[in-house]
Copies of this chain bind each other. A is one copy, B any other.
């Protein structure tokens, strides 16, 4: 199965990225680093008379890439107990995609895709990261995607994650048998 990994980190070679490579090695799957792309925040015009205004940025290109894959890994540092702003901005814009006549198939196309989440935080992430996991479950439910699993890692300072045997092991098992 072809896998797209969406990296929501805003720095290079961080703990989240490292943990994610244990699940999906760099040379496997398509790795998309959201921070390298121009993604504008949504302006909610669902109910505007003329609908959404066209936005010129990289979002459509990313959606096209997304639709080419069957398995999605959302990899995000935990910022203030939820996904990073750049990942949130990427997902918020899905509301606009759903109203785009060129993407009338978007919602249906996501059905049955498999979703995994990898999240890394420093402040009791195995407890305080759970609302984030629940939110991904709701997103999956909305589209009929299957939320297959998640790994939460604890790390704050660069390199911390390398000492976290449990998280590394869990990440290594996350997509096993896929």
A126 CA to B81 CA, complexed, in Å: 19
Chain B: minimal CB distance from A44 (Å): 4
* Residue A51 is within 8 A (CB to CB) of chain B in the complex: no
Question: Known contacts A80-B94, A123-B142, A165-B176: does B41 contact A85 (CB below 8 Å)?
Answer: yes
Q: Across the interface, do B42 and A35 meet the contact criterion of CB distance under 8 Å?
A: no
How many identical chains are in the complex? 4
Are A11 and B91 touching (Cβ within 8 A)?
A: no
Cβ of A127 and Cβ of B131 under 8 Å apart? no
Q: In the bound complex, how far is the Cα of B131 from the Cα of A135, in angstroms?
A: 7
Of the candidates B47, B147, B170, the one whose C-beta lies within 8 Å of that of A158 is: B47
A147 to B127, CA, bound (A): 9
Complex A-B, nearest 10 residue pairs according to Cβ-Cβ distance, in ascending order: A131-B131, A85-B92, A81-B135, A85-B89, A81-B138, A10-B44, A131-B134, A11-B44, A85-B88, A88-B88
